[in-house]
């Protein structure tokens, strides 16, 4: 249609105006061209919308501009169809930057999404919101990130960590606030978050190493369970961290190395090394002792060498290279050699790093020499890198095999590779004196090769070799002088001329003749050759002026009028220097000394030398130049910074309570109930997906910290235990632990417990199924008082199955719950298999609707079904709430009258002090203590799990063992029952 | 980390672009095209190309370059490994990862890329999780979708990402429960002119195809685990158990996956199953060269050597080859000078041979390089290292699965120098 209009108009218009019109119309066409898509997007049918979105996304993928559709697309951001929605997100993120105002229309949808009860929807809303690069929403983003960082779900917290660098790149001014969020997330105890937050740390504030101290041990211990990409980032960061915090483990050896480097390389066996280390230790001031945290890092990264992900293996390898004692670095060689089987791009990067490593630590790759042999099918760049490695690995013992190998390479069809091989031979010859003559002979033979490139390369290399001992090799120089007639490669010609000039005294007859020939062809030579001709002429003039005076003059005259100013310059300079004139300067006396000075032989060095000042495996190392955002690998400190910064403090209040609880018994012997408690939390994580995340929750939600008084040995064991934990997590069937270990673990976990719940005397186990009625299967349960993460309105019930039968029990699960209306059950994941004699612990959630009605259900195994019921004591229907004294008073004021129940009672004989009262009350009900000014009063606060009604308890002691108990609660039934229970507990 | 991704085909067209941060103009790829031009062969393009403002990291798979744009420091292997993971995922979804497959499924590709990276940092790379998020296209589903207008995107959001076994889908159900394991060993060897072995190594993998209901927990044990010198595992394998007992214990992902790759310790002598007798010579002054090649079985433990394929890059001076094979067919490409001979099965009674003459450019001197011979072959039902699976047990589920183990030996990078 538009074309038609255009044609009609054009017919009536003059030529000059036409041009203008064409512009206008083509613009209109540009606007209308997506009309059909707009129509589809406006339709009511999801299928049409989807089709339109698919076409738009396909256009985006091809790089076509579809920004004019923005308004039509954004309307659909709230579409019910999930695929349409996702594609709209794709579009939105792509174009929001260009259409800032319109993009704002969509923000409210995401803000709503952030409040959704489903964690995955919350996460995806945050993800898209933070990807919209519109500066005006920075405050909204900041708020959303902060909120998400303290979300219950670790997945949402992970997304928050991802959002941090996005916001930082959008508005760097938010850095300080973001660092606060990072600090908070770094303390997170879940593996899901760890990788992402370290990534954020690296991008936003990589220099804030102080934020890592407290989390260092935790990161080390979590490492193995973090997803592979996170592992890479964490390992790289920890490498840098370790360089600032620990001492160089090779400090003694590096001092020794200076004096006897050669000898050291020659004997690289581990035994020898140990001896050396010992000797060094004796000589040096003080023996080196590795920081246990340093050891922890090395030990926990080692298993990751077995990862299938090349990036992880490389990260561990570089960590060992930069941090491990010399004797231990060797273990990475095998893994790196394994990576060479991978894709050629991986090979390329690995070989670059191996090349750098072989310069510093040759011994480690020597056993794998043959893995670096070159195949004719390797790409050239790989061949050249392998050659580099082989050259670095060459020493007196293996040089003969390496040279034999090189000989076959010279016959290759790949000429670039042949040239590199010749250079490699040259380097071997300079490095290893014994084979110099052999190499030289081999290279001289190559001079008769038919391929000019080969000959040229050989000439260049021979020149370098000859410089080392020219006297014995005048034959070779003569031979090369003959070559000048045939070789055309400038570099080779220049090298020959230089050689003849330098050693003209060894070939007095030939040299002038060469100069004669060169003078003839001077004008046609390349610049480097011309320069060398001038050099040759000058040197000959100085040694043999009789024969060459005229030739030299001629050459200098030619050079005087050369096009290249370098050559003109050189000619003028040399003429002044060597040709004696009246006013020749003071320098001309020294001309001979200047030209024919003894020149030091060139050292053929690997291009990879000294590359290790870049962190291996990094982009900067590969490019041998600093890439943007590269963090220098710091030098080892002279003396170790205070290691105690990594000790994790326990918060004051908690600490105090802890001493009350475990103080008298000491760390070694912990009350049995605590062991049980710790054991339960521990085995939590081993019981299927739901419960695992539950325990993760509790870990992070409570912000509990490891004890500050931990000794070194504890740390070590803790880390071993983590290892085991990982195995066990998968290994659902194995929940047993040696007693010592659980005691150990207990010491660590006590603080978790203390922080989440008020210190209680013990957790009571209830029987669900007796061993006899259960035909060998005994089931017990307890109320763990942990928040139940999948659903915060449920009470967590920990169930322990013990299989006392002679056979395995299979498929333990729940069926047919019969519940009062409103009650809900979240079943535990089915236990597939339970071997004889083992016990398994799982967690299930029950929403009791704040009533003490029993939850009835069937417990099924593969053979039998048992009817069981769980009836909660009223005290377990609540969770602790932390209130201040003022808040408590205020809330209590609101719950007067009918909501207040007060009873007088006489305290039991043992209730002599406040401490016992607190213990009794918290044992009866899951409440937390509220600070109180008066020592006659104890206050407790909590809320019901299901409906969140406040429960306030006050115990006022009076003289003569009498006391008054007051409970304020909106739910009168709960209140009454609680009063009864607490009275009973206190009057015992 | 990863800023943008461009997919470039063999003729240098960008056919897909995706940006995770702000948009990077596709002109950045010009540096890449320059590098491609400079490299003589496609595989010689450097994987990492620095440009003034960015850095390009590329991988080449199936004649498609995946070019990632990087702006700041990041371990190059991280990007390379990720790009390969992307390709593997595409292969998993579409069967192949060619330009045509990507173009046909551009929306799914885009959705996948969106899920795999968030702000350039990998998010979900496990195939099992991705498949829950985005259903792979099948013919049936495509038909149904066009009729009903339903979608490829999973209705339910996956919970796998949140679980402790992120590699496995939940609620897997099969009517036939089966678990197959393929032990595939490859011999990498370089044989020198005289027939002696310069270097020989065995690299093996165990590929699994597990289709089991529920959450099975498998253990696989070997008769001779000491053979394995260096191993790398799928993340599902419990490392400690392997360290302690040399048993592979794992909750498998659903479907196909690589359980383990290993290297057999170099102390063991490697049995080379075939030998090659060759006589390739050029005479000075004549425009003819002689070509003779005979293959024979060496240490095959009584198994037949099958699917033998010989290929060799002849010197540039060779114009044509006039050969006659005793079995199979041969081709010679006069442009690339690549000779390949599809031998088939080696019959020990009648050894296959390829004989004849090569014609050289007249007047040209004899080439001084010697061609190398690359060999491919397969031997069924044999793991050349002698590795044997002892037993496979399943815990955690009550049904009886069907189990199968297959052994195979292949030539890896097997070269004979002449």
Token digits of residue A789: 């993460």
Q: Considering only A348-352, A419-423, A478-482, A728-732, which range has the smallest mean pLDDT? A: A728-732
pLDDT of residue A691: 38
Instruction: Nearest chain A residue to B231 by CA: give it.
Output: A306
pLDDT of residue A868: 84
The yes-or-no verdict on residue A984 having pLDDT over 70 is yes
Which of the two residues, A759 and B344, has the higher pLDDT score? B344
B 287-306 residues with CB < 8 A to A? none
Model confidence at A956, pLDDT cuts 50, 70, 90, reads confident
Specify the DSSP element, H or E, that contains B338. Answer: strand B338-344
Per DSSP, the three-state class of B294 is strand
Chain A and chain B share a number of CB contacts under 8 A equal to 282
pLDDT of residue B379: 92
Instruction: Nearest chain A residue to B15 by CA: give it.
Output: A62
Token digits of residue A726: 């990982």
Please give the average per-residue pLDDT across A272-301, as a whole number: 69
* Average pLDDT of chain B to the nearest whole number: 86
CB spacing of A306 vs B118 below 8 angstroms = no
DSSP result, A361-413: -GGGTGGGGGGG---TTS-HHHHHHHHHHHHHH--TTTHHHHHHHHHHHHT-S
pLDDT of residue A920: 84
Residue with tokens 């009057």: A987
Query: Beta-carbon neighbour count of residue A565 at 10 Å?
Result: 8
CB spacing of B235 vs A228 below 8 angstroms = yes
Residues in chain B closer than 8 A to A153 (CB atoms): 162
For B332, list phi and psi in degrees, rounded to 5.
-135, 125
Q: Quick one: what percent of chain A has pLDDT higher than 70? A: 81
Full strand arrangement of the beta sheet holding B318-325: B274-282, B288-297, B353-360, B318-325
The yes-or-no verdict on residue A348 having pLDDT over 90 is yes
* Identity of the residue in A311, A405, A723 whose CB atom sits nearest the CB atom of B77: A311
* Identity of the residue in B16, B22, B241 whose CB atom sits nearest the CB atom of A97: B22
Which of the two residues, B364 and A251, has the higher pLDDT score? A251
Which of the two residues, A681 and A799, has the higher pLDDT score? A799
Residue with tokens 């729940």: A814
What is the spatial distance between Cα B131 and Cα B115, in angstroms, rounded to a whole number? 11
The yes-or-no verdict on residue A277 having pLDDT over 70 is no
What is the spatial distance between Cα B50 and Cα A627, in angstroms, rounded to a whole number? 9
Distances (CA, A) of B237 to A57, A569, A705, B167: 39, 71, 30, 11
pLDDT of residue A688: 39
For helices A82-95 and A119-131, the axis angle rounded to 10 degrees is 20
Model confidence at A231, pLDDT cuts 50, 70, 90, reads very high
**d(CA B30, nearest CA chain A) in Å:** 16
Residues in chain B closer than 8 A to A348 (CB atoms): 46-48
Q: Considering only A203-217, A804-818, B106-120, which range has the smallest mean pLDDT? A: A804-818
Query: Beta-carbon neighbour count of residue A939 at 10 Å?
Result: 23
| Domains of chain B, first to last | 2-148 (3.30.450.60), 178-270+382-416 (2.60.40.1170), 274-380 (2.60.40.1170)
Which of the two residues, A832 and A964, has the higher pLDDT score? A964
Model confidence at B268, pLDDT cuts 50, 70, 90, reads low
Instruction: Nearest chain B residue to A373 by CA: give it.
Output: B199
CA atoms within a 13 Å half-sphere pointing along the CA-CB vector of A153: 23
> What does the pLDDT look like over A479-505, one tens digit per residue?
888 888 888 888 888 888 888 888 888
Q: Quick one: what percent of chain B has pLDDT higher than 70? A: 91
> What does the pLDDT look like over B217-227, one tens digit per residue?
999 999 988 88
Bridge partners (DSSP) of residue A879 are A943
pLDDT of residue A2: 56
pLDDT of residue B137: 75
pLDDT of residue A653: 39
Model confidence at B140, pLDDT cuts 50, 70, 90, reads low
* Identity of the residue in B14, B192, B239 whose CB atom sits nearest the CB atom of A306: B239
Task: Judge contact between A83 and B152, C-beta under 8 A.
Answer: yes
**d(CA B206, nearest CA chain A) in Å:** 13
pLDDT of residue A470: 66
Q: Best mutation site among B81, B144, B257, B336 for testing chain A: the one with the most A CBs within 10 Å?
A: B81
CB spacing of A343 vs B59 below 8 angstroms = yes
The yes-or-no verdict on residue A474 having pLDDT over 60 is yes
Is the ipTM beyond the 0.85 threshold?
Answer: yes
Task: Judge contact between A831 and A691, C-beta under 8 A.
Answer: no
Q: Considering only A13-22, A210-219, B162-171, which range has the smallest mean pLDDT? A: A13-22
Specify the DSSP element, H or E, that contains A987. Answer: helix A972-987
What is the spatial distance between Cα A389 and Cα A563, in angstroms, rounded to a whole number? 43
The yes-or-no verdict on residue A819 having pLDDT over 90 is no
The yes-or-no verdict on residue A511 having pLDDT over 50 is yes
Within an 8 Å CB–CB cutoff, is residue B184 touching chain A?
no
What is the spatial distance between Cα A806 and Cα A809, in angstroms, rounded to a whole number? 9
> What does the pLDDT look like over B376-397, one tens digit per residue?
999 999 888 888 999 899 988 8
Please give the average per-residue pLDDT across B335-342, as a whole number: 90
What is the spatial distance between Cα B60 and Cα B38, in angstroms, rounded to a whole number? 16
Please give the average per-residue pLDDT across A730-756, as a whole number: 40
pLDDT of residue A744: 42
Q: List helix spans (H) across A447-564.
A: 452-466, 474-483, 490-502, 510-521, 527-543, 545-560
CB spacing of B395 vs A81 below 8 angstroms = no
Model confidence at A267, pLDDT cuts 50, 70, 90, reads very low
Interior CA angle at A207 toward A202 and A208, to 5°? 95
pLDDT of residue B66: 94
Within an 8 Å CB–CB cutoff, is residue B392 touching chain A?
no
Within an 8 Å CB–CB cutoff, is residue B407 touching chain A?
no
Q: Quick one: what percent of chain A has pLDDT higher than 90? A: 13
pLDDT of residue A943: 87
pLDDT of residue A568: 92
Instruction: Nearest chain A residue to B251 by CA: give it.
Output: A730
**d(CA A692, nearest CA chain B) in Å:** 7
> What does the pLDDT look like over A51-102, one tens digit per residue?
888 889 888 888 888 888 888 888 888 887 878 888 888 888 888 888 888 8
**d(CA A367, nearest CA chain B) in Å:** 10
Model confidence at B87, pLDDT cuts 50, 70, 90, reads very high
Taking phi over 0 as left and psi of -120 to 50 as alpha, with beta for the rest, A825 belongs to beta
Q: Quick one: what percent of chain B has pLDDT higher than 90? A: 32
CB spacing of B75 vs A47 below 8 angstroms = no
**d(CA A907, nearest CA chain B) in Å:** 49
pLDDT of residue B145: 60
pLDDT of residue B266: 66
Model confidence at A737, pLDDT cuts 50, 70, 90, reads very low
The yes-or-no verdict on residue B231 having pLDDT over 80 is yes
Q: Considering only A784-793, B92-101, B239-248, which range has the smallest mean pLDDT? A: A784-793
Q: Give the rounded distance of the alpha carbon of A101 from its chain centre.
A: 37
Residue with tokens 């191993």: B231
pTM, full prediction = 0.71
Please give the average per-residue pLDDT across A207-222, as a whole number: 89
* Identity of the residue in B50, B58, B415 whose CB atom sits nearest the CB atom of A623: B50
pLDDT of residue A182: 92
Model confidence at A354, pLDDT cuts 50, 70, 90, reads very high
**d(CA A282, nearest CA chain B) in Å:** 36
Token digits of residue A678: 């710790």
> What does the pLDDT look like over A174-194, one tens digit per residue?
899 999 999 999 998 888 889
Residues in chain B closer than 8 A to A693 (CB atoms): 162-164
Which of the two residues, A225 and B370, has the higher pLDDT score? A225
* Average pLDDT of chain A to the nearest whole number: 78
CB spacing of A60 vs B163 below 8 angstroms = no
């Amino acid at each position: 249609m538009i074309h038609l209009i255009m044609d009609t108009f054009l017919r009536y218009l003059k030529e000059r105006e036409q041009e203008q019109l064409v512009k206008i119309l083509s613009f209109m066409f540009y606007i209308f061209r997506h009309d059909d898509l707009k129509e589809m997007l406006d339709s009511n049918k999801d299928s049409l919308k989807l089709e339109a979105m698919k076409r738009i996304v396909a256009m985006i993928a091809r790089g076509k501009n579809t920004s004019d559709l923005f308004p039509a697309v954004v309307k659909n951001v709230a579409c019910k169809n999930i695929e349409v929605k996702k594609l709209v997100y794709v579009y939105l993120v792509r174009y929001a930057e260009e259409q800032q105002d319109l993009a704002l229309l969509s923000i409210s949808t995401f803000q709503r999404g952030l409040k959704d009860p489903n964690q995955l929807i919350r996460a995806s809303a945050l993800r898209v919101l933070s990807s919209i690069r519109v500066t005006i929403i920075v405050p909204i983003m900041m708020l959303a990130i902060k909120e998400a960082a303290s979300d219950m779900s670790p997945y949402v917290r992970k997304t928050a960590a991802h959002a941090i660098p996005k916001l930082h790149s959008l508005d760097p001014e938010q850095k300080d606030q973001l660092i606060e969020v990072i600090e908070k997330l770094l303390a997170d105890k879940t593996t899901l978050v760890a990788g992402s937050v370290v990534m954020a740390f690296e991008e936003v504030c990589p220099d804030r190493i102080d934020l890592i101290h407290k989390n260092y041990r935790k990161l080390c211990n979590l490492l193995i369970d973090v997803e592979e990409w996170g592992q890479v980032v964490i390992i790289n960061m920890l490498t840098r961290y370790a360089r600032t915090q620990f001492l160089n483990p090779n400090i003694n050896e590096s001092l020794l190395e200076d004096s006897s480097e050669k000898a050291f390389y020659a004997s690289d066996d581990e035994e020898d090394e140990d001896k050396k280390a010992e000797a060094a230790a004796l000589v040096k001031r003080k023996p080196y002792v590795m920081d246990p945290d340093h050891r922890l890092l090395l030990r926990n990264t080692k298993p990751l060498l077995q990862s299938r992900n090349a990036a992880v293996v490389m990260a561990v390898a570089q960590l060992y290279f930069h941090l491990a004692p010399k004797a231990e670095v060797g273990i990475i060689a095998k893994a790196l050699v394994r990576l060479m089987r991978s894709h050629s791009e991986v090979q390329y990067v690995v070989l670059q790093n191996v090349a750098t490593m072989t310069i510093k630590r040759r011994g480690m790759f020597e056993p794998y020499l043959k893995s670096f042999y070159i195949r004719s099918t390797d790409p050239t760049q790989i061949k050249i890198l392998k050659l580099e490695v082989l050259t670095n690995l060459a020493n007196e013992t293996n040089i003969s095999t390496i040279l034999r190998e090189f000989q076959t390479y010279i016959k290759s069809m790949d000429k670039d590779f042949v040239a590199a091989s010749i250079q490699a031979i040259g380097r071997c010859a300079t490095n290893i004196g014994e084979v110099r003559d052999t190499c030289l002979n081999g290279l001289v033979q190559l001079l008769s090769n038919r391929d000019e490139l080969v000959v040229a390369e050989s000439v260049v290399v021979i020149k370098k070799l000859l410089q080392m001992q020219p006297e014995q090799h005048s034959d070779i120089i003569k031979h090369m002088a003959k070559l000048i007639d045939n070789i055309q490669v400038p570099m080779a010609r220049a090298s020959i001329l230089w050689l003849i000039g330098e050693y003209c005294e060894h070939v007095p007859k030939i040299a002038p003749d060469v100069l004669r020939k060169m003078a003839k062809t001077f004008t046609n030579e390349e610049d480097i050759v011309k320069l060398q001709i001038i050099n040759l002429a000058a040197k000959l003039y100085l040694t043999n002026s009789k024969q060459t005076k005229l030739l030299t003059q001629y050459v200098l005259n030619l050079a005087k009028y050369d096009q290249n100013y370098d050559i003109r310059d050189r000619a003028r300079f040399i003429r002044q220097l060597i040709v004696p004139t009246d006013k020749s300067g003071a320098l001309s006396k020294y001309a001979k000394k200047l030209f024919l000075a003894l020149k030091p032989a060139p050292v053929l060095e690997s291009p990879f030398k000294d590359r290790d000042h870049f962190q291996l495996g990094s982009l900067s190392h590969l490019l041998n130049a600093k890439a943007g955002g590269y963090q220098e690998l710091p030098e080892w400190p002279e003396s170790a910074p205070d290691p105690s910064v990594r000790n994790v403090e326990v918060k004051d209040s908690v600490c105090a309570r802890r001493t009350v609880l475990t103080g008298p018994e000491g760390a070694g012997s912990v009350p049995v109930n605590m062991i049980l408690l710790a054991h339960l939390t521990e085995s939590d994580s081993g019981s299927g997906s739901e419960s695992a995340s539950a325990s993760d929750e509790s870990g992070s939600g409570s912000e509990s910290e490891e004890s500050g008084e931990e000794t070194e040995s504890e740390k070590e064991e803790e880390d071993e235990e983590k290892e085991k934990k990982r195995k066990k997590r998968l290994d659902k069937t194995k929940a047993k632990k040696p007693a010592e270990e659980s005691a150990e673990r207990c010491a660590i976990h006590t603080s978790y417990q203390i922080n989440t719940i008020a210190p209680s005397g013990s957790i009571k186990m209830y029987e669900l199924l007796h061993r006899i009625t259960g035909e060998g299967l005994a089931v017990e349960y307890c109320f763990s008082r942990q928040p139940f993460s999948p659903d915060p309105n449920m009470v967590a019930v920990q169930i322990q199955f013990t299989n006392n039968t002679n056979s395995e029990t299979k498929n333990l699960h729940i069926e047919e719950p019969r519940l009062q209306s409103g009650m809900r059950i979240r079943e535990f994941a089915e236990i597939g298999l339970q071997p004889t004699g083992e016990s398994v612990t799982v967690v299930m959630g029950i929403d009791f609707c704040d009533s003490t009605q029993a939850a009835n259900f069937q417990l099924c195994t593969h053979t039998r079904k048992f009817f069981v019921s769980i009836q909660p004591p009223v005290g377990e229907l609540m969770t602790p709430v932390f209130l201040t004294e003022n808040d408590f008073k205020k809330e209590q004021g609101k719950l007067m009258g009918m909501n207040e129940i007060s009873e007088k009672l006489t305290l039991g004989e043992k209730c002599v002090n406040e401490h016992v009262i607190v213990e009794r009350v918290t044992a009866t009900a899951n409440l937390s203590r509220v600070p109180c000014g008066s020592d006659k009063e104890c206050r407790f606060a909590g809320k019901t799990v299901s409906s969140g009604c406040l429960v306030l308890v006050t115990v006022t002691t009076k003289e003569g063992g009498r006391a008054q108990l007051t409970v304020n609660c909106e739910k009168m039934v709960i209140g009454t029952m609680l009063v009864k229970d607490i009275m009973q507990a206190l009057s015992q | 980390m990863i800023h943008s991704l461009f997919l470039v085909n063999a003729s240098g067209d960008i056919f897909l672009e995706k940006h995770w941060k702000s948009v990077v103009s596709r002109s950045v790829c010009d540096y890449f095209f320059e590098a491609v031009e400079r490299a003589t062969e496609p595989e010689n393009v450097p994987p990492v190309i620095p440009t003034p403002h960015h850095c390009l990291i590329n991988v080449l798979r199936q004649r498609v370059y995946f070019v990632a744009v990087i702006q700041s420091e990041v371990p190059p292997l991280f990007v390379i490994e990720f790009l390969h993971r992307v390709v593997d995922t595409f292969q998993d979804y579409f069967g192949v990862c060619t330009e045509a497959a990507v173009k046909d499924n551009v929306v799914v590709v885009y959705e996948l890329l969106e899920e795999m990276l968030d702000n350039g940092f990998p998010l979900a790379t496990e195939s099992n999780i991705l498949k829950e998020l985005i259903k792979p296209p099948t013919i049936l589903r495509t038909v149904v979708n066009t009729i009903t207008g339903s979608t490829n995107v999973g209705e339910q959001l996956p919970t796998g990402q949140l679980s402790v076994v992120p590699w496995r889908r939940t609620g897997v159900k099969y009517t036939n429960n089966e678990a197959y394991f393929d032990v595939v060993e490859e011999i990498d060897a370089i044989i020198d002119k005289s027939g002696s072995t310069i270097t020989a190594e065995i690299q093996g993998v165990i590929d699994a195809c597990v289709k089991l209901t529920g959450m099975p927990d498998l253990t696989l044990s070997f008769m001779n685990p000491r053979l394995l010198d260096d191993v790398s595992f799928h993340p599902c394998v419990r490392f400690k158990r392997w360290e302690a007992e040399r048993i592979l214990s794992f909750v498998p992902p659903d479907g196909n996956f690589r359980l383990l790759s290993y290297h057999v310790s170099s102390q063991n002598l490697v049995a080379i199953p075939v030998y090659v007798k060759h006589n390739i010579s050029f005479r000075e002054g004549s425009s003819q060269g002689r070509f003779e090649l005979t293959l024979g079985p060496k240490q095959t433990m009584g198994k037949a050597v099958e699917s033998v394929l010989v290929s060799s890059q002849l010197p540039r001076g060779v114009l044509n080859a006039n050969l006659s094979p005793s079995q199979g067919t041969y081709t010679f490409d006069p442009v690339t000078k690549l000779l390949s001979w599809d031998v088939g099965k080696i019959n020990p009674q009648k050894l296959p041979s390829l004989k004849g003459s090569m014609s050289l450019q007249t007047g040209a001197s004899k080439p001084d390089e010697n061609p190398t011979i690359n060999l491919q072959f397969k031997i069924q039902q044999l793991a050349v290292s002698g590795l044997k699976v002892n037993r496979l047990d399943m815990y955690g589920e009550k049904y009886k699965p069907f189990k199968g183990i297959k052994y195979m030996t292949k030539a890896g990078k097997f070269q004979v120098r002449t």
